[in-house]
Amino acid sequence: MLKLAVLVSGGGTNLQAIIDAIADGRITNAKIEIVISNNPHAYALKRAEKAGISFRCICPRDYADREDFHEALLLALEQSGADLVVLAGCMVVIPEQIVRRYENRMINIHPSLIPSFCGKDYYGLRVHEEALARGVKVTGATVHFVDAGTDTGPIILQKAVKVEEDDTPEVLQRRVMEEAEWVIMPRAIDLIAHGAIQAVDGKVIRVKTEDGHR
Ligand code: GRF
């Protein structure tokens, strides 16, 4: 059983997609051990509570400095016994010491088809504003393993979404979430829970699983 720690900062719709996928069997062999937010007001925490999942807030301003915050976050992750750390709408920059500790065991969802519209300062609505400004006809979302860079880790899954002529950034963001993020995040977790993928030389490959997992 793959133990998950899910890091959130906001609305938690990706967390909800994971909760729902576990409930309806699209994800098997995985369990959310804890939801951790850096933001005490994150609606994601209410979603965890409603689902009966342990949750806690580890908030930077409650610590003397960034280092203490990072230590507290790492301790919470280790105490959770998580096999996989899932960044689901997480706005915290994960420090190198934690990235190293969870090498190829930490995944992130980014609301574009990496390597487009990603990297430092590309998050939230800005990603979709830039996609519309560039006039792309297709965008989407990416789930990737987290490495020391920003949105640079090995790509696990991507899903494309059509850009409509009259899209606003908000409308496009919602479509990318509904049609891409909430589909590939659960799928990626299910693949990992069944040992169906491996990161090799910076690329993710599919491996045959004993249970013939698809
Ligand atoms: C999503 O667009 C996700 O791609 C980005 O944060 C946004 C909010 O996610 N990382 P959520 O509703 O909090 O899951």
Backbone angles phi, psi at 136, to 5 degrees: -65, 150
Closest to 84 measured CA to CA, from 17, 145, 15: 145
If you measure from the C-alpha of residue 173 to the centroid of ligand 1, how many angstroms do you get, rounded to a whole number?
9
Residue of 123, 177, 178 with the most ligand 1 atoms within 8 Å of its CB, for mutation: 177
Amino acid making up residue 123: Y
pLDDT at residue number 23: 98
What does the mean pLDDT of the chain come to?
A: 96
Cα torsion 112, 114, 118, 120 to 10°: value is 140
Prediction pTM value: 0.96
Report the 10 Å Cβ neighbour count for 167: 17
Residues 21-49 have pLDDT tens digits of 999 999 999 999 999 999 999 999 999 99
Give how far the C-alpha of residue 26 lies from the chain's centroid of Cα atoms, to the nearest Å: 17
- What is the band of 94 on the pLDDT scale with cuts at 50, 70, 90? very high
Asked if residue 89 has its Cβ within 6 Å of ligand 1, the reply is yes
Distance 15 CA to ligand 1 centre (A): 9
Percent of the chain's residues with pLDDT above 70: 99
Residue matched to tokens 């998950």: 4
DSSP 145-166: E--SSSS-SPEEEEEEEEPPTT
**Stretch 171-196: mean pLDDT, rounded?**
98
- Residues 5-23 have pLDDT tens digits of 999 999 999 999 999 999 9
Angle 178-106-55 (CA atoms, 0-180°, nearest 5)?
A: 75
| Ramachandran sector of residue 29 (left: φ over 0; alpha: ψ -120 to 50; beta: rest) | left
Q: Is the peptide bond preceding residue 115 cis, with omega within 30 degrees of 0? A: yes
List of residues 6+ apart from 148 with CB closer than 8 A: 96, 99, 100
C-alpha 125 – ligand 1 centre gap (Å): 10
What per-residue confidence (pLDDT) applies to 214? 64
Give the separation between CA 51 and CA 25, rounded to whole angstroms. Answer: 16
